[in-house]
Amino acid sequence: MAQAEHDMEVPVLVVGGGGCGLSASVFLSDLGVEHLLVERRESTSVLPRAHYLNQRTMEIFRQHGMAEDVYELSTPLANMSEVAWRTSLAGDGPLDARDLHRMDSFGGGATAGPYADDSPCPSTNLPQHRLEPVLREHAERRAPGRVCFHHVMDGFSQDPEGVTARVTDRTTGETSTVRARYLLGADGGRSIADALGVTMDGDGGAWNVVSVHFSADLSRWWSGDKVLITNFVSPDGGPVSRYGMVAMGPHWGLASEEWALHFHLPPSIDLDVSEQAAGDRVRELLKLPDLDVTVHQVSRYQPEAVVARTFRVGRVFLAGDAAHRQPPATGLGLNTAIQDAHNTAWKLQAVLSGAADSALLDSYESERLPVARRTVDWAMFSFRNHGVLHAGLGLMPGQPNEVTQANFDALFADTPIGETRRARTAEVFRTQRMEYQAHDIEVGFHYENGALVPDGTRPPPRDPMGSAYHPVTRPGHRLPHAWLASGEDRVSTHDLVGSGGGFVLITGPAADGWRRTAKRLADDCRVELTVVSVSDDPGPDDYLDADGDWAALRGVRQDGAVVVRPDNHVAWRTVRGGPQAEAELGSALRAVLGHHVTTTGS
């Protein structure tokens, strides 16, 4: 269409300015893709909500120059390395403030070794109301005037060449028309998916969760300087006897000033949870009747475990909560959303630049939808497993309060059966490592079909409890991390892939043949393809594998090659080099870019 028919034309329109949309804006800018982001809210989130940022997300932030800004504000690993279960935070009764269990978590304590070995980035914790301003600053710096808060998309239509959207400035009331080649729906809700007629499958709405965000000095009572989350199981019974609390900063550990307290409200219970009553509810649950509490927000939500049947309809893509929604257990929601945006951005850039066929865009759904189903199922199973812990304490739904108290008395009794009860409790509670030590779920997800060329090998075994991760260079998997040396600098294998959309071929010292082939293919395919040589005896332009970690992980011979996509997932590999392998590289790269499929309308 002619320019005059629209107020603005952009290659990509991003709808939604939460963690997913803002991250997408940053990624697109770094890839050189012009875009417009519209967000209906006046500002970023005022609610803490999502807070845990796993290693894969922090690797993505590292790739795009945001990790250090996040780490500067977020929880040090030392203050989030443990999760506690207690009977209450305070109180002076015989069953008050008693520990039920403690678990190392998130790459701290006993989990530190594997987490540190497998990633250049520790996991961290930064509540959404503090993370989103960091992302917004980065997005606005990269795309001045194109990140528009207090703007709402009123509607859209699409045709074979693009999407036409109506956008209203909610401050002035002025409506304009935006024409885009593609639309990324990161609106966090149902509006775009509903407009497309996309059905969400799964469970939802079975629980009512109330969250109270408040400030208080809990340094005298909090479960410990290492503890990020405390889960409470009260012997007192009553309508709210199981609840959880998370430190929300801005300082951490015992110094935290802000907190989020979450509890389930049974549908049959009419309990005043207004902001006016929330302070009293906090004091009651924490057993601190004189605590000075400032309530910031009270919010309610119904956890869902739903996945869209499709992530793409024509030129519209769904990402984040628009495509999948899960309970907060394991902290997969925001992380998966950011990873959706990361997967989509480089593919849009490749197609818009003419390097890739539009068939590449089909791989967004074939790669991310199975991951979403896995993470949603995992989150719901982890969420429900808390009920298993409660059953391990002898607690059953509808149980009289006196029976509950008797169970706790027996648990702490200095008797042989008390010792047995405590041992059983420890064994049952250890199953919740699927939530707090989900290392493989966080970094071990991979793609079986999509923008990759399978090599016929089988994937490594997966830990059914989600903890043990097996790094491999099998196509579709995340590139394994290994530390390399370049002169005086120490770099991760992940650092070999920049933020600008290029592919990287990693090989050994005999790289000249690969370099010649890569230069020719880069010119033919109009993509950046950088050859990196890694050796234990490097030349001046090679990287040093000083500890032999890459040699142990690479899965190919020294003259073989591993090709890595712009999102640090492996696209192709060959065990050995030579003229035939170099010829196969050309076919593989074209296949990854979608040129093996003939389509129209890119």
**For residue 601, what pLDDT band results from cuts at 50, 70 and 90?**
very low
- Here the tokens at position 95 are 């069953």
C-alpha pair distances (Å), 444 with each of 9, 371, 435, 471, 542? 39, 10, 15, 8, 28
**Closest CA relative to residue 443, chosen from 501, 499, 371:** 371
- Here the tokens at position 256 are 């935290």
Q: Is residue 602 pLDDT above 50, yes or no?
A: no
Tens digit of pLDDT for each residue in 556-594? 999 999 999 999 999 999 999 999 998 999 999 999 999
Tens digit of pLDDT for each residue in 138-173? 999 999 999 999 999 999 999 999 999 999 999 999
For residue 303, which phi and psi values (nearest 5 degrees)? Answer: -60, 135
> What is 3-74+126-202+305-360's CATH topology?
FAD/NAD(P)-binding domain (3.50.50)
d(CA 52, CA 333): 9
Instruction: Tell me the three state secondary structure of residue 146.
Output: coil
Q: 213 or 601, which is more confident?
A: 213
Q: Is residue 120 pLDDT above 80, yes or no?
A: yes
d(CA 259, CA 262): 10
Q: Is residue 205 pLDDT above 70, yes or no?
A: no
Q: Is residue 350 pLDDT above 60, yes or no?
A: yes
If you compute the radius of gyration of the chain from its CA atoms, what whole number of angstroms results?
A: 26
Helices assigned H by DSSP within 245-287: 275-286
Q: Which residue has the tokens 């089909």?
A: 362
**For residue 599, what pLDDT band results from cuts at 50, 70 and 90?**
very low
3-state secondary structure 554-587: CCCCCCCEEEECCCCEEEEEECCCCHHHHHHHHH
**For residue 596, what pLDDT band results from cuts at 50, 70 and 90?**
low
Tens digit of pLDDT for each residue in 47-75? 998 999 999 999 999 999 999 999 999 99
Average pLDDT, the chain: 94
**Closest CA relative to residue 24, chosen from 34, 14, 32:** 14
CA 49 to chain centre: 14
Selected from 1.10.1240.10, 3.40.50.2300, 3.30.200.20, 3.40.30.120, the CATH number assigned to the domain covering 483-592 reads 3.40.30.120
Mean pLDDT is lowest, of 177-186, 212-221, 386-395, for: 386-395
Contact (Cβ atoms closer than 8 angstroms) between residue 242 and residue 236: no
Would you list the DSSP string of 314-381?
TTEEE-GGGTEE--SGGGHHHHHHHHHHHHHHHHHHHHHTTSS-GGGGHHHHHHHHHHHHHHHHHHHH
Tens digit of pLDDT for each residue in 386-421? 999 999 999 988 889 899 999 999 999 999 999 999
d(CA 227, CA 89): 13
pLDDT for the residue numbered 597: 40
d(CA 400, CA 99): 23
Range 161-187 average pLDDT:
97
Contact (Cβ atoms closer than 8 angstroms) between residue 45 and residue 190: no
Q: Which residue has the tokens 């020719």?
A: 520
Selected from 3.40.50.300, 3.30.930.10, 3.20.20.140, 3.30.9.10, the CATH number assigned to the domain covering 75-125+208-301 reads 3.30.9.10
Beta bridge partners of 184: 14, 317
Contact (Cβ atoms closer than 8 angstroms) between residue 16 and residue 186: yes
- Here the tokens at position 347 are 């593919």
Domain range summary for the chain, segments of one domain joined by +: 3-74+126-202+305-360, 75-125+208-301, 483-592
Range 176-183 average pLDDT:
98
pLDDT for the residue numbered 537: 83
Degrees to nearest 5, angle at CA 520 with 514 and 525: 115
% of the chain exceeding 90 in pLDDT: 86
d(CA 344, CA 530): 22
Cis peptide before 250 (omega within 30 of 0): yes
Q: Which residue has the tokens 């040129």?
A: 595
Q: Is residue 493 pLDDT above 80, yes or no?
A: yes
Range 76-96 average pLDDT:
97
pLDDT for the residue numbered 128: 96
pLDDT for the residue numbered 3: 41
% of the chain exceeding 70 in pLDDT: 97
User: Running DSSP on this structure, what letter comes out for residue 496?
Assistant: G
pLDDT for the residue numbered 249: 97
Tens digit of pLDDT for each residue in 531-553? 999 998 877 779 999 899 999 99
Asked if 75-125+208-301 and 483-592 have one fold, the answer is no
Instruction: Tell me the three state secondary structure of residue 495.
Output: helix
Q: Count of residues for the chain? A: 602
